[in-house]
Structure 1
Amino acid sequence: MELIRGLHNLRDKHRVCVATIGNFDGVHLGHVKVLEQVKAKGRELGLPTVAIIFEPQPREFFAGQEAPARLTRFDEKVRLLRAQGLDRVLCLTFNERLRSLPAASFIEALLLEGLAVRHFVVGDDFRFGCDRAGDYAMLCQVGATQGFSVENTATCLVDGERVSSTRIRQALARNDLDLAERLLGRRYRISGRVMLGQQLGRTLGVPTANVRMHRFAAPLRGVYAVRAELDDGQIVAGVANIGMRPTVHGTQPVLEAHLFDFQGDLYGQLLSVEFADFIREERKFDGLEQLKQQIFNDIDVARALLAC
């Protein structure tokens, strides 16, 4: 799969395709259903398939720190889209220039000149262009005159309700990991590179792999029984805390994972942490000794939950 960053990197070889557009946060079962539509039409027409995404996501541009927590970081989203078998992902930088682009110019620059779309799969509630003036009806009208067809996205239901990133976010916020799994089609996980931390865990006898969240606001907070996938595909059970580490006066959100019975160097590795069970909320302890005792208690609980 080819990742194209920005309209300015589109070339003639990228023109004429079947496309869809959206945030694809989480790449959940609803997104998978849409992508199946895209791929089916691509096979029918013998054309490559493209998913158009935004970075940052529009709500992050408008709301800043008040934006909802993401389900997936950018790199992880691209990996998930690649796994769906798309030919290309086009990532548009959502900035003031794109925000202020009139709807007609958006269609002209992106769908006609940029991609020469032959078929476009999009929800009938999709809005685009300056002040969200463009809509599904406008796309259909322009498509009828410019030679591309428009198809409404299929709805995916679980327990009689529509699958959405918002619904998954709400499930994770209340630590309903089972519902999140049914909506995602997989257990929820967070991936990132292991960085050098304060090495406090090592001094407490529980070395941890630290994954800095950077600007990623995770939808989970607390202590969990986890399974971590390493670069080599090895799966290791463990316990993880995701949060601010208030006992040691943390200032940035961090994912810390202690992997059971693991010997080796994880620095620089891509660690994918799957959240199996919720153990407890993150809290501030009176000192390191109390924190250490609680960590060992958490390890016992996690081992029991994971049967290891």
Structure 2
Amino acid sequence: MNVIVIGGTGFIGRHVVKRLLDADCRVLVFHRGKTDQDTKGPAESITGDRKKLADQRSEFQKFGPDLVIDLIAFTEDDANSLVETFKGIAERLILISSMDVYRNYGLFLKLESSESNRIPITEKSKLRSIFYPYRSMAKDKAALLFNYDKIPVEQIVLDAKYLSGTVLRLPKIFGIGDHKHYLHEYVKRMKDGREYILLDKKHAEWIWTRGYVENVADAITLCTVDKRATDQIFNVGDIASFSESEWVTKIGRQYGWDGRVLTVAQNELPKHLQTEYDYDYHLEVNSDKIRRELGFKNRISIDNALEKTIEWELEHQSKDFDVNHFDYTAEDKVIEKHK
């Protein structure tokens, strides 16, 4: 099976490419050529500008793809260029989307209003009614944040003529190679010997579905090789979803941290730990569909996933973090008052 992976050298993409090769797929990676990852070896490679995808149409055609996976289609222009470039060349498209399409995410960002509920999100749950969720953060109209929205991107792919689309809605991803260092804020505090980790009370109870990157790559690979995934939307994520307090505790257990989470009211937190989110709206996702219909299973347990991620994080600690986010003097004043 011939597979093109657009954006196949990033955090998720590198794991996807490895799993595809393990599944005996012939893989062509399209990327910018700006990563330090070794793109040589079993996978073939083409460098280019994602915004000029059609410029490589003849090269893509020579490869003869059966299926294309796009990990970096963020805007309507991206989706339209994807469909136009591979129309008549490939049979199927897999779009990597996000849980941010759901209404609960808009509520979480305070873009919308509604009564809260604790029902896990399924593929049939309501989507956001407010588009372009990050537009207020954009510097100008040309910025990615101004044009980003996975909802219209999904629709373009699913409505494409002459191409069959599959949409995979991913949760918060963690794991080896995470350039955003998702676990850093907790692992650093544990490494620094902090006895307490402070959380807003509502944040501590807030539930978020996560996904370990290698398991997510397995799900993407399964949908690639199994045609039953054609014309389907699947949520991807771990079976168990944890509250933030439970998540910190799990990280601590794997790290060997003997401290504990201390919860306080939002307005009592130091300024650097306060957020603008509405934690009444959980991002707990039901991913039963992909397990039931395609037989997907997590290959790596949550404990093993955290162990591997923590080990990687300690070896590749972020050097770009904001030191003000670790103002332990301010944190200690709150801790002394509440411990």
What TM-score comes out, normalization by structure 1 length? 0.30
Identify, as 1 or 2, the structure richer in strand. 1
Task: Give the number of the structure whose alpha-carbon radius of gyration is greater.
Answer: 1
What TM-score comes out, normalization by structure 2 length? 0.28
Identify, as 1 or 2, the structure richer in helix. 2
